[in-house]
Structure 1
Amino acid sequence: MSNAILEKAALWKKGHLYEDFFVGQTFQHHWGRTISESDNMLFSTLTLSFVPLYFNRAYAMQQGHPDIVLNPQLIFNVALGLSVEDCSEIGGPFLGVYDLRYHRPAYPGVTLIASSTTVEARISGNNPAVGIVTWETEGRDENGDLLVSFRRSNQVRRREGASQ
């Protein structure tokens, strides 16, 4: 790459530090993601989720579904992935998921749209250079129907470390 191009390049700020979060803050995560039948087949195979509902259309229809059911773990992972840019892209240890709930089945072709609300933000008792932030994330389909919800927490670096 030429020096002229590098000189014109600007750093794009990514992620948020602890001080950027406040309780009640809501993020509407960008774009959403349409989940295809092939996404579901590949995910279910790679994770050894050999549940017939996820890859056998005739079986799913015999169970009363209109089509193959999307693997709920795939729905969760897509919603979590959509939230990363706004909530945890800057890094910091992932502390876990809590209260994971699947609200209804979803089928190939659904477009998942996610949002997250900051529900807790506190300074770490063990390491005052970081905060612990918890978000409640919801994944909805294009009609606004709730598919998945969960809470998750991350350690997030503080802007000034422990000096604040």
Structure 2
Amino acid sequence: MNADETVDFLEQNAVEWVRGNRFEDFALGQKFTHHWGRTVTESDNTLFSTLTLAYNPAYTNASHARAQGFQGSPVNPLLVFNVVFGLSVEDLSEGGGPFLGVDDLQYLQPVYPGETLYAESEVIQARLADKRPGYGIVQWHTVGRNEAGVPVIEFKRANLVRTKG
């Protein structure tokens, strides 16, 4: 089978796979333990800090970080946020709908390279959207923890979430 035949075969046999939850799948108080987890490496931290122009030397210079009272270079807090947020997407917002923002973001303690982060979320608000037929607004409280189970970050976030109808 040549490349064109392979593409034709794949297109003809593709099956739509709906991913993500819809508005009706969320109930007030419902909890999600996001199943993956992610180990943050020193390379992740250096690359993220460099690409986002976060040149605080504490994130890339262990000697400077120790002089500031850290045990070494901590992971850039914005990277911690992005990792924990990303862990929640499959369960919470992968079904599509605009992101509406984050509230009450708190960094609870430093994260260091080599730590594995996990996330859990709880539905704290769910209502149909007044001005967007076919959508609801869902808000979650998400907590990111290290491998010892200690909370390192928490925040609330909201999305417009498609309804099943």
Q: Please give the TM-score of this superposition, normalised by the length of structure 2.
A: 0.90
- Greater CA drift, 9-18 or 105-114: 9-18
Q: Secondary structure at the match of 1:31?
A: strand
Structure 1 stretches of 4+ moved >3 Å: 1-4, 9-13
Match of 1:125 in 2: 130
Q: How does 1:51-70 map to 2 (within 5 A)?
A: 51-70=56-75
Match of 2:149 in 1: 144
C-alpha displacement at 1:13, in angstroms?
3.6
Match of 2:93 in 1: 88
* 2:67 is aligned with 1:37: no
Q: Secondary structure at the match of 2:36?
A: coil
C-alpha displacement at 1:64, in angstroms?
2.1
C-alpha displacement at 1:24, in angstroms?
0.8
**Unpaired runs of at least 5, structure 2:** 1-5
Q: Please give the TM-score of this superposition, normalised by the length of structure 1.
A: 0.91
C-alpha displacement at 1:119, in angstroms?
0.6
**Unpaired runs of at least 5, structure 1:** none
The partner residue of 2:109 within 85, 100, 104 is 104
| CA–CA separation in structure 1 for the residues paired with 2:132 and 2:67 | 54
Aligned AA for 2:31?
Answer: T
CA RMSD of aligned residues (A): 1.6
* 2:22 is aligned with 1:17: yes
| CA–CA separation in structure 2 for the residues paired with 1:97 and 1:143 | 26
| CA–CA separation in structure 2 for the residues paired with 1:113 and 1:12 | 26
| CA–CA separation in structure 2 for the residues paired with 1:84 and 1:31 | 11
C-alpha displacement at 1:128, in angstroms?
3.1
| CA–CA separation in structure 2 for the residues paired with 1:33 and 1:11 | 28
Aligned AA for 1:60?
Answer: A
In the alignment of these two chains, the number of paired residues is 159
Q: Secondary structure at the match of 2:35?
A: coil
